[in-house]
Chain A
Amino acid sequence: MTQSISIKDLTLNFGAVSVLEDLNLDVAQGEFLVLLGSSGCGKSTLLNCIAGLLDITDGEIHIQGHNVTWEEPSKRGIGMVFQSYALYPQMTVEGNLAFGLKNARVPKDEIAKRIARAAEVLQIEPLLKRKPGALSGGQRQRVAIGRALVRDVDVFLFDEPLSNLDAKLRADLRVEIKRLHQTLKNTMIYVTHDQVEAMTLADRIAIMKGGQIMQLAPPSEIYNRPVNKYVAGFIGSPAMNFMDGQLDGGAQHFDTGRGLDFSVQGYEFAAAPTSGPVWLGLRPEHVQSGKWAEGQPVQMEALVDMVEPMGSDTQVWAKVNGQDLRFRMDGQEAVAIGDRIPIGFDPARLSLFDKSTETRL
């Protein structure tokens, strides 16, 4: 596998504050990598370091096999798309697309050719003579993508490109970015705090927290086998249920100590199970209820506390032997506060974390 981007021991300090520390990351040729995390986790900072917009304190950055650690942003072979579009307001769309190429002294006919091609791909041909002020948010972001496109680069960097758009446009443009990636097969690094964007777009997701990458894996693995409690709680909506309790490693039995206990046989332990305090994570959508609860390896009864009907499904807040539990039911099932309904789940879909280290068992 050829590496498109390779980051070695990257450290960045702002004064005495360490923002990124000894970060290593390899991105394969043509891969779509999403940097995901809540605000302040260092994801945008990392992207700015890759782009060369921030001078790093220590480490190395290689793009397409070249050491670009101290290279100017324009010489790194990257194109970048920003959250606020960052179009030059006094230039037409065409001028915006041509600006970087003119700076790089690309011949005129080549500039025209590249603009025509980018405009066709992004369907912005009718807008070329307009100024950014006369465009809608979606159109502006398309032009901003076009500006990265005409540079004919190997690596695209996206810094929360859809965050300023409304929900419908966001969904449309998300699909378009995915299609663009399938057509161009460029390496793309995409920063977002939106887990839907991350799950739908990414070949691999890097979940960041406190300037470190918590987990770097394909979306399905992140969802099914989160490496720690933070990742487990971050991914998934509604969020994962957590229960604290004791695990009996030998019998593979879990006990909250507050009246709820069940077997976790079927759970794939990373290492031989040991006994001790644990966090048990259970995704709301993995809890079966009503008649679907039958036949599930673990079964119990839930007392419905609150109901949130969403149409397609209903979110239920319930209590199971004093333990809060949130789960989803089919939207067509009748359920009311105070109902007692049977629920069940498969331990193979659970996540177990060590109580003190919060890492996956």
Chain B
Amino acid sequence: MTAAEMNMKLAVTPRGAKPRSPFAPRNIMLYGTLIVFSIYYLLPLYVMIVTSLKDMAEIRVGNVFSPPVDITFQPWVKAWAEACTGINCDGLSRGFWNSVRILIPSLIISVSVAALTGYVLACWRFKGSEVFFGILLLGAFIPYQVLLYPLVIILRELGLFGSLWGLVLVHTIFAMPINVLLFRNYFVAIPEELFKAARVDGAGFWGIFFRIVIPMSLPIFVVSGIIQVTGIWNDFLFGVVYTRPENYPMTVQLNNIVNSVQGVKEYNVNMAATLLTGLVPLTVYFFSGKLFIRGIAAGAVKG
């Protein structure tokens, strides 16, 4: 039943308890708490935004919470295109495009491999598949740092160390436990008879995957996609360990700008740079939040 139908029903049958006053004690408590917590969490963001719009003279006055007197976008321009890291002075833009070049293949490959692995573990069980899945899950509990050096050696032996594809491989490997778990649990909930029907209809392993399973599983692809986008975009450790300076992702670049020890600390540029870096995951959450919640919930109920 849609919301409109629901309202119609309520309109024609005026039954049930009397609607509460908007200023009932319960509402004041509820919304009061929500507002206080919202302010608590939004305040740093507010400070970042206003600071990024001030010039250095205004910042030195020290009124952290006051809105900017003269709005200037110069810090944003500087953060994006002019800030120096080492010998390069082209700001975050280089790091942004590096991150995009890391993100897109890592996202596509890791989600595809996880979906396929989940599909096999859920629908085409083989001898030992449960054990395999158990071992895979164990991987979720191993701290990344433990595997850092062994992976350096593996990448060196593969001839991928320092390259973009080496990093893509690392991201794909570390994406496996949690994403395979997501996909497997989602696919397990698909009724077995559907697969039988598809087999009678002449669909094989790939036919069932592409034409039956994937079209039914948009929410879980969105969930996995979001987890991967934020994870890969926010990654600092792998980026700094497995690539060379010319391939450094945005997070590493950001660190180099913000933590530079030479010259004046340009707070406005730092704030702008940080906001720019966080923009991508933020946008992703903003536009797919609804699907994300639905996917997580569906997995929870059915899995």
Contacts and interface: CB of A to CB of B under 8 A. Distances in A.
B45 interface: no
Contacts of B207: 103
A82 B202 contact: no
A265 interface: no
B199 A73 contact: yes
A88 B194 contact: yes
Given A53-B196, A100-B202, 14 more contacts: A52-B199, A53-B199, A72-B199, A73-B200, A73-B202, A74-B199, A74-B201, A78-B200, A80-B196, A86-B194, A100-B201, A104-B202, A144-B197, A159-B193
A89 interface: yes
Contact of B212 (A84, A88, A144): A88
A359 interface: no
A37 interface: no
Interface residues on B, range: 10 to 19
Contacts of A74: 199-203
19 contacts: A53-B199, A53-B200, A73-B199, A74-B200, A74-B202, A74-B203, A75-B202, A80-B196, A84-B191, A84-B193, A87-B197, A88-B198, A88-B212, A90-B215, A99-B211, A100-B201, A104-B202, A147-B197, A159-B193
B216 A89 contact: yes
Nearest to B217: A90
Interface centre among A48, A79, A89 (most CB of B within 10 A): A89
**Chain B interface main SS type:** helix
A83 interface: yes
A86 B215 contact: no
A94 to B, nearest CB: 14
Interface centre among B193, B198, B211, B216 (most CB of A within 10 A): B193
Contacts of A53: 196, 199-200
Nearest 5 Cβ contacts at the A-B interface: A74-B202, A100-B201, A103-B202, A86-B197, A86-B193
Given A86-B194, A88-B212, A103 B200 contact: no
Contacts of A72: 199, 202
A52 B196 CA distance: 10
A79 B202 contact: no
A145 interface: no
A79 B199 CA distance: 11
